[in-house]
Structure 1
Amino acid sequence: MPALPTPRFDIFYRHAELTGLLQEYAAARPGLMSLQSIGKSHEGRDIWVVALTNESTGADRDKPAFWVDGNIHAGELTASTACLYWLHQLLSGHGSDARITQLLDTRAVYICPRVNPDGAELALADRPRFIRSSTRLYPFDEDPVEGLTVEDIDGDGRVLHMRMPDPHGPWKCHADEPRLMVPREPGEFGGSYYRVMPEGTLTHYDGLLISVNPNREGLDLNRNFPAYWRQEFEQSGAGPYPTSEPEVRAMVDFIVTHPNIGAAVSFHTHSGVILRPMGTQSDDDMTPEDLWVYKRLSALGEKLTGYPAVSIYHDFKYHPKEIITGTQDWIYEHLGALFWTVEIWAPNKEAGITDYDWIHWYREHPVEDDLKLLKWSDEQCAGNAHVTWYPYRHPQLGMIELGGWDRLNYWRNPPPHLREREAARFPAWLTQIALSLPKLEVLRTEVRALGPDTWRVRFAVANAGYLPSHISKRALERKTTRGVVFELHLPPGVALVSGKQRVVGPQLDGHAPKNSLQAFLPNREITADRAVAEWIVKAPRGTHLALTATADRAGTVRTEVTLD
């Protein structure tokens, strides 16, 4: 067996390197992994998806499946690292790790390490420029004629801050730590103050007025999904219409054409938190059975990853009066599959700041937190997370200073020596979710002679998984999954006397308990995880009949009976 490639998790791969690495994996484990491009990005790069399953036990489409993606936002590069890390764990663990072996023998995993290859390539450029997501010019394509464009102006591979003395400036140096900029107090005057702005170049600067230009690439691919899509005036970056962008359309098409996908995780950065639906409504408005399942599986995530799991609606709004929609709304609220967003990495927590709000901290926090972060930069990051201010002759502003936080390399992503540690948090939880998916199995087949050439055929199946075959009540409400579909395949010379050749049966419960054994009333449906189809056929003795049962999210099983 060829050796697996040895990836590095302390670096971020450019597109060509990522492509080569994935091709090496596929060549090393052809029976466990296949690689396909599901489409081209705006700039024409392949969007790669890995399909992982033991093909000797069945095709990926015949098995319940789990989807994982990352790097839909340009600078959130650790999301791609987390995908690659689990990919490596799965391929190296099959045959030696019992849980991984069980997973790939019975289920399929689809991994898209980089939904947005164009944006990632720009973030990894020698002179990066920050953009949110896609590189397509939107909503307008003209060059800026005034204002500040955020970019790396001195060619050091970082986009920092610029500061310049200004008696009207809102910032000042900390009294005991002059590297640290802190807000000017209400009513304060008589000191040395600064105006601070992002690193960048100015167009048509008049010596007085400065405004930061929006990115010419104003799209946010995570706002381009079909469910609850809203126009630009309501949701910035949403695009001209749902799935207008090729990256999103490729992902949507793939998932829609793979109804076996019952759960998904999307990796982002940063905040160090697991986010669960819903994004548009409170827990009080959520289907209770789904909320209970989410809380149960999210609690496993907290235990196995060390990240808290919270509601998007209640705990992760960018603004208390606004809601944002994205992948989670389409996959759960639209399709009824389970979905989580994982925001990897929390520099605050790394610095010993434990009591903070994931969103509001960025609007306002005590200066003691900044001092802790500066100490962390000095002691754990060789002083590189917060760059000491240094002089620079700006082409429009003259002498200024550059410095402050290196956000791409230390805030949006962990520093190199911590990237593998963060990625290693997730495989155990991802594996447990995937193993919880419904799994259709043949329970029994029966043939009974009713006459010399007349036979009753019974076909019984069961759900061997934890979750029900429909995954969620939301799926039933949205009518996105059918019950078990039984089919009798009739060869020439066989007549169907009774029953339908194709029968749509019930949804099947999983083995997740609905309540405890101390509940007031027992469950009434003891065998709701099973279903049976029955036919009467007319055929000669010794005839072979093929039988199939399919549940959209629980897989397909096939068997054969002999009329004897």
Structure 2
Amino acid sequence: MPLIPRGRRRATTVAAACSLTLALALGSQAIAAPPSSSPSPTADGATADGAARQYEVGGLATRAERTELARTGVAVDEVRHGSVVVTADAAEAERLRDLGYELDALPSTRQAAAPEDYATYEEVLAAVDEAVAQYPDLVSSQVIGQSYEGTDIVAVKISDNVADDEDEPEVLFTHGQHAREHLTVEMALYLLADFTSQYGADAELTEYLDTREVWIIPSVNPDGKTYDTASGEFQMWRKNREPNAGSSAIGTDLNRNWAYEWGCCGGSSDSPSSETYRGPSAESAPETQAVADFVRGRVVGGEQQITTHIDWHTYSELVLWPYGYTYDDTAPGLTQDDADTFAALGTAMAETNGYTPQQSSDLYLTDGTIDDWMWGDQGIFSYTFEMYPTSEAEGGFYPPGDVIDRETSRNREAVLLMLEYADCVYRIIGAEAEYCAA
């Protein structure tokens, strides 16, 4: 059946989707709190033992300058005109000053929200279970692996004839690689609620779910997510919770741990204390390996069934695409047609939500990222969406709960656009005859 033209923009079904999200998110179970030694922030965001907080670093106007800063191992949270915002603890901040960087401590925005504004991982799993029970012909779930602490990592499948592995293009959404980015997990709940409540009611969405298979991994980093909120105060935690041998530092940055150009180019750190620590080897983190194994498992008859992917992050309101490890627009495995296709779809999606579209390395170099691996290793058109807000002043990693419905539904049209082109992404540059002929 031919796809419905997208010549118009319908009103979104926010009320129905949000109602279902609330209905699905059942009561939480008890979860372990972080150790009592975890520092508590003061009113201005500082901590008694100098734990991580945000600073503005001035005098950085180019991607090369931003890359040099990132190579120190500090996490770049936000790129501004002529400056960046980073997360650093007191020792890292002092080291940056010793290197000649000018740092201004920023007031904490953590008080803009409360941990209870966001679903716990137990509530996420309950929402998944309820959706499977309510829509057994449309939704299924499976455990694809465990985190370091033994928490189940779940993949949700949404499609008509969900029990069958049909020969249809597949779309993957991954959420919550970085623990403190809770809005991304809310995005997963929104998609689950919207896809289920609107199947059969929204003709366009219904057609996509009849002709594609959708996968949602609601939280790639459940241990980190839980740790970040369980004490009742946000911890600004980014990494997973795996101890590092020979170090007191905990955690690997999952989005520097992927097995494509891992550690190649100064876009990650080899220091376990760094926020961008890439781990001792590619896919060393059990969470990374679980998702990578799942994606590799979608190769059927020698062909990768997943054609498109979004990895959801916060914040800055960006649509990003590969490669991140090089400034070049084209590189091995990324032709000019590939680059043009990435840019065309990325720009089209950004036009629906008001985000800024660009190649990932236009910000600064990163290596070992999921997008580079998805494309470079698996041939999947993979994007990063950096969600609301645009700045730390608007809430940063912890925007208030009253924006969740607005900011998740804001991405509905972009998601539908990705679903539309999942059968042949090259169609967006008019090259379907060359790349997608039967």
Do Structure 1 and Structure 2 share a fold, with TM-score over 0.5? yes
Instruction: Please tell me whether residue 430 in structure 1 is matched to residue 347 in structure 2.
Output: no
Q: CA deviation at 1:323?
A: 3.7
- Aligned counterpart, 2:261: 228
529 and 257 in structure 1: CA distance in 2 versus 1, 3 angstrom threshold = closer
Contact kept in structure 1, 2:176 and 2:185, CA below 8 Å:
yes
- The superposition leaves residues 272-325 of structure 1 with CA deviations (integer Å, 9 ceiling, x where unpaired) of 1111111122215451101111121112112111111111112x21xxxx5433
Provide the residue aligned with 1:484 in structure 2: none
Query: Secondary structure at the residue paired with 2:324?
Result: coil
Q: Pick from 275, 283, 290 the counterpart of residue 243 of structure 1.
A: 283
1:355-408: per-residue Cα shift (whole Å, max 9, x none)?
Answer: xxxxxxx9xxxxxxxxxx5xx7xxxxxxxxxxxxxxxxxxxxxxxxxxxxxxxx
Alignment TM-score, normalising by the size of structure 1: 0.52
Indicate if the aligned counterparts of 1:103 and 1:434 stay in contact, CA closer than 8 A.
yes
1:264 equivalent in alignment to 2:309: yes
Residues 344 and 139 (structure 1), Cα distance of their counterparts in 2 relative to 1, 3 Å cut: farther
The equivalent of 2:402 in structure 1 is: 417
Q: How far does residue 514 in structure 1 lie from its aligned partner after superposition?
A: 3.6
In structure 2, the CA distance between the partners of 1:63 and 1:416, relative to structure 1 (3 Å rule), is: same
- Residue identity in the other structure for 1:23: D
Pairwise CA distance, 1:10: 8.6
Please show how residues 389-408 of structure 1 align to structure 2 within 5 Å.
none
| Structure 2 residue aligned with 1:467 | 425
Which digits, 9 at most, give the CA deviation of each residue in 1:503-526, with x for residues without a partner? xxxxxxx585249xxxxxxxxx7x
AA aligned opposite 1:221: L
Contact (CA 8 Å) 2:259, 2:368: kept in 1 or not? no
1:105 match: 210
Task: Give the partner amino acid of 2:320.
Answer: L
1:219 and 2:252 correspond? yes
Displacement, 1:413? 2.9
Aligned to 1:312: 360
Alignment partners' CA distance in 2, 1:90 and 1:10: 25
Please state if 1:341 is matched with 2:381: no
Secondary structure (helix, strand or coil) at the match of 1:343 reads strand
Distance 1:295 1:347, change over 3 A: closer
Query: Which residue number corresponds to residue 138 of structure 2?
Result: 32
* Structure-1 separation of matches of 2:193 and 2:366: 36
**Separation in structure 1 between the aligned mates of residue 437 and residue 360 of structure 2, nearest angstrom:** 35
Q: In structure 2, how many angstroms separate the alpha carbons of the residues matched to 1:324 and 1:421?
A: 32
Name whichever structure is richer in strand by fraction.
Answer: 1
Does residue 72 of the first structure (1) align with residue 174 of the second (2)?
Answer: no
Alpha-carbon distance, 1:106 to partner: 0.6
- Mapped to 2, the partners of 1:429 and 1:96 lie a distance apart of 19
**Aligned residues of 1:10 and 1:418 also touching (Cα < 8 A):** no
Letter in 2 for 1:229: W
Counterparts of 1:456-495 in structure 2, within 5 Å, are 466-467=424-425
DSSP 3-state at the match of 1:63: coil
SS where residue 342 of structure 2 aligns? helix
Matched with 1:22 is 128
Deviations 1:145-182 (A, max 9, x none): xxxxxxxxxxxxxxxxxxxxxxxxxxxxxxxxxxxxxx
Equivalent position SS for 1:283: coil
What is the TM-score when the length of structure 2 is the normalising length? 0.66
Q: CA deviation at 1:237?
A: 1.2
Within the alignment, does 1:326 sit opposite 2:374 as a pair? no
Q: Call closer, same or farther: CA 1:220–1:301 in 2, change over 3 Å.
A: same
Structure 1's 287 and 124: CA in aligned 2 closer, same or farther, altered over 3 A? same
1:21-420 equivalences under 5 Å are 21-55=127-161, 59-125=164-230, 126-142=232-248, 216-230=249-263, 232-233=269-270, 236-258=276-298, 259-281=304-326, 282-285=328-331, 286-314=334-362, 316-317=363-364, 322-348=365-391, 373=393, 410-420=395-405
Matches of 1:75 and 1:233, distance apart in 2: 22
Name the CA shift for 1:513/1:20 in 2 (closer, same or farther; >3 Å): same
Question: Measured at CA, do residues 423 and 60 of structure 1 come closer, stay the same or move farther in structure 2, by a change above 3 Å?
Answer: farther
SS at match of 1:230: coil
Q: What letter matches 1:513 in structure 2?
A: G
> What is the CA–CA distance in structure 2 between the aligned matches of 1:137 and 1:511, rounded to whole Å?
45
Q: Deviations over 1:482-521 (max 9, x none)?
A: xxxxxxxxxxxxxxxxxxxxxxxxxxxx585249xxxxxx
AA of the residue aligned to 2:337: E
1:40-80 CA distance string (max 9 Å, x none): 11111111110010007x82453210000111111011010
Amino acid of the structure 1 residue aligned with 2:406: R
- Residue in structure 1 matching 2:430, options 508, 513, 524: 513
How far is 1:467 from its partner? 3.2
What CA distance in whole angstroms lies between the structure 1 residues aligned with 2:366 and 2:286? 25
Unaligned 5+ residue runs, structure 1? 143-215, 349-361, 363-372, 377-409, 439-465, 469-509, 516-524, 532-564
- Specify the SS of the correspondent of 1:309: strand
Aligned 8 A contact 2:262 2:282 in 1: yes
2:350/2:356 contact within 8 Å kept: yes
What is the DSSP-based 3-state SS (H/G/I as helix, E as strand, rest coil) of the residue aligned with 1:55?
coil
Query: Which residue pairs with 2:76 in the alignment?
Result: none
In 2, Cα distance between equivalents of 1:267 and 1:529: 27
Instruction: Quickly say closer, same or farther: Cα 1:343–1:312, change in 2 above 3 A.
Output: same
Deviations 1:435-468 (A, max 9, x none): 2122xxxxxxxxxxxxxxxxxxxxxxxxxxx436
Secondary structure of 2:172's match?
strand
Question: How many angstroms apart in 2 are the aligned matches of 1:268 and 1:227?
Answer: 20
Q: For residue 18 of structure 1, what is the amino acid of its counterpart?
A: V
Distance 1:85 1:16 in 2: 16
Gaps of 5+ in 2: 1-18, 26-114, 299-303
Give how far 1:35 is off: 1.0
Select the structure with the greater relative contact order (CA < 8 A; seq sep ≥ 6).
Answer: 2
CA pair 298-347 structure 1, distance change in 2 beyond 3 A: closer
- 2:428, 2:351 → 1: CA distance? 22
Larger CA Rg, structure 1 vs 2:
1
Q: Please list the CA deviations of residues 334-356 of structure 1 after superposition, one character each: whole Å capped at 9, or x if unmatched.
A: 222101101111243xxxxxxxx
Distance 2:421 2:188 in 1: 20
CA-to-aligned-CA distance 1:109-155 (integer Å, 9 cap, x gap): 0000100000000111124433221011125454xxxxxxxxxxxxx
* Partner Cα separation in structure 2 for residue 111 and residue 420 of structure 1: 18
Q: 1:140 to 1:64 in 2, by over 3 A?
A: same
- Structure 1 residues 528 and 419 mapped into 2: Cα distance closer, same or farther (>3 Å)? closer
